[in-house]
A and B are shown apart, each in its own frame.
Chain A
Amino acid sequence: MLIDWFTVGAQALNFLILVWLMKRFLYQPILHAIDAREQRIARELADADSKRAEASQERDQLQQKNQNFEQQRAALLNQATLAAQAERQRLLDEARQAADAWSAQRQQSLANEVRNLHRTITGRAQAEVLAIARQALMDLASTSLEERMGEVFTRRLRALDGGRTGSPRPSRLRRNPRSCAAPMNCRPTSARPSSTPSTRPSPPKSASGSKRPRSWSAAWN
């Protein structure tokens, strides 16, 4: 007989005991370990996903901040450019005004110089003319001329005295007294040398006794 029923029973019992032991010592611990590992991996993956999402969000925020910063920078740069242009324009205007002022001042000083120069030249020319006239008069002087001149001079002095006392001044002198700066020109048209003086009258002397004709012009003026 190949079947021993006691052995069959014993083996069945052994097998059931083995089932319990293996469940106790093999399947449950192994399955628990696998489950724990899978949960851990799932948790780590979830953490990684959350971190990835967080990183993505932070990256978006940084990009947004970057864009805002760029915009602000561009606005500030534009504003600074405009301010610099305005400042440049203002400085240019100031410089132009200063240059105009300097130019006007310079022109004024040049005009003053010209005026002074004219005055100087006029004075010199008057002096030269007077000297030439004096020289010419000295060279051309004769008795009749000197007499005639003395006569005219005397008459005009009288006329001057008459003007002070109420008598009218000769109209020609009244109209243009400067035209008589030269003694030759101050001769009235009607006055002509009547005769050639034989003797040369002495010119009227000034208070200082000088023979310079400067006092004449001073008196005529």
Chain B
Amino acid sequence: MRLSPDAIVLWQSGFFKLNATILFTWALMLVLVVGAKLVTRKLSTDLTRSRWQNLLEIVVTALEQQIGEVGLRQPRHYLAFLGTLFLFVAAASLGTVLPGYEPPTGSLSTTVALALCVLVAVPWYGIADQGVRRYLASYLEPTFLMLPFNVISEISRTLALAVRLFGNMMSGAMILGILLTITPFIFPVVMTALGLLTGMVQAYIFFILATVYLAAATRTRAPDSAPSPSP
């Protein structure tokens, strides 16, 4: 039984290989970039604008507003990374309506890659915001004894991110495949709709958790690391 599109290998040369995960990821990237390019090619700064521009403006401003509501001070600074996380996971989920499509997020390799990106982005933005010493000192809060637990927390939440998204996406595709063999007509359609909803919810969860991690690394830790008066 195939649990991941990684198993579909189209080409392999030693360590390098081209599987369905990478291929569908490229397809998604192509659709997203070309679509964005087509829409933003003729942007209007007037009060009247096209429907697609309206849609993209709604998406971008909603993401920016959501990032700001979570607590990041400069939402536009993090919009590229966090917004792309949401759009990629959501687009991968929306693509399941196409026959023969396998979502790349149904591969644990993809979710791990995304979680690793978040794992790297948190100290990256944290150091850029607070500096190396203050960021590393945050792992010693409230005492140095908490250092291992803080490190384990970072790793475990990254693992949780990856496995949560993979489990949900894989289970959706898996349930759909099983139902197709049992009740091939009506019920899979309903489950596909449910899978769309689940995919959008997972995209939002992944996006909001990554935002919360970044906010925790940048803003909320800053007051804690501030020098307090000695008793």
In the complex, are the beta carbons of B37 and A25 less than 8 A apart? yes
Chain B binding site: helix, strand, loop or mixed by DSSP? helix
As a 0/1 sequence over residues 176 to 211 of chain A, the CB contacts with chain B under 8 angstroms (1 = contact) are: 000000000000000000000000000000000000
Q: In this assembly, does B140 line the interface, its C-beta being within 8 Å of a C-beta of chain A?
A: no
Chain A binding site: helix, strand, loop or mixed by DSSP? helix
Number of interface residues of B (CB under 8 A): 48
CB neighbours of B81 from chain A (8 A): 19
Q: In this assembly, does B26 line the interface, its C-beta being within 8 Å of a C-beta of chain A?
A: yes
Return A32 CB to nearest CB of chain B, in Å.
Answer: 8
Smallest CB gap from A11: residue in B: B113
In the complex, are the beta carbons of A31 and B76 less than 8 A apart? yes
Using a CB-CB cutoff of 8 Å, which residues 1-34 of chain A contact chain B?
2-12, 14-23, 25-27, 29-34
Smallest CB gap from B60: residue in A: A30
In the complex, are the beta carbons of A22 and B83 less than 8 A apart? yes
CB neighbours of A37 from chain B (8 A): 45-47
As a 0/1 sequence over residues 35 to 51 of chain A, the CB contacts with chain B under 8 angstroms (1 = contact) are: 01100110000000000
In the complex, are the beta carbons of A11 and B25 less than 8 A apart? yes
Q: In this assembly, does B3 line the interface, its C-beta being within 8 Å of a C-beta of chain A?
A: yes
Measured in the bound complex, the distance between the Cα atoms of B53 and A4 in whole Å is 38
Q: In this assembly, does B176 line the interface, its C-beta being within 8 Å of a C-beta of chain A?
A: no
Return A3 CB to nearest CB of chain B, in Å.
Answer: 5
Residues of A in contact with B, size category: 20 to 34
Return B37 CB to nearest CB of chain A, in Å.
Answer: 5
Q: How many residue pairs bridge A and B at CB < 8 Å?
A: 125
In the complex, are the beta carbons of A33 and B3 less than 8 A apart? no
Name B's A-contacting residues (CB within 8 A).
3-4, 6, 15-17, 19, 21-22, 25-26, 29, 32-33, 36-37, 40, 43-47, 49, 53, 56-57, 60-61, 64, 76, 79-81, 83-84, 87-88, 104, 107-110, 112-114, 116-117, 166
| 28 interchain pairs, CB-CB under 8 A | A2-B3, A2-B4, A2-B166, A3-B112, A5-B109, A7-B107, A7-B113, A8-B109, A10-B113, A11-B104, A11-B107, A11-B109, A12-B114, A18-B29, A18-B84, A22-B87, A26-B60, A27-B76, A27-B80, A29-B43, A30-B57, A31-B64, A31-B79, A33-B40, A33-B49, A33-B57, A37-B45, A37-B46
Given contacts A3-B109, A8-B112, A11-B107, 15 further A-B contacts (CB under 8 A): A2-B4, A7-B17, A7-B19, A7-B113, A8-B113, A11-B25, A14-B22, A14-B29, A15-B113, A16-B117, A22-B83, A23-B80, A27-B79, A30-B40, A30-B57
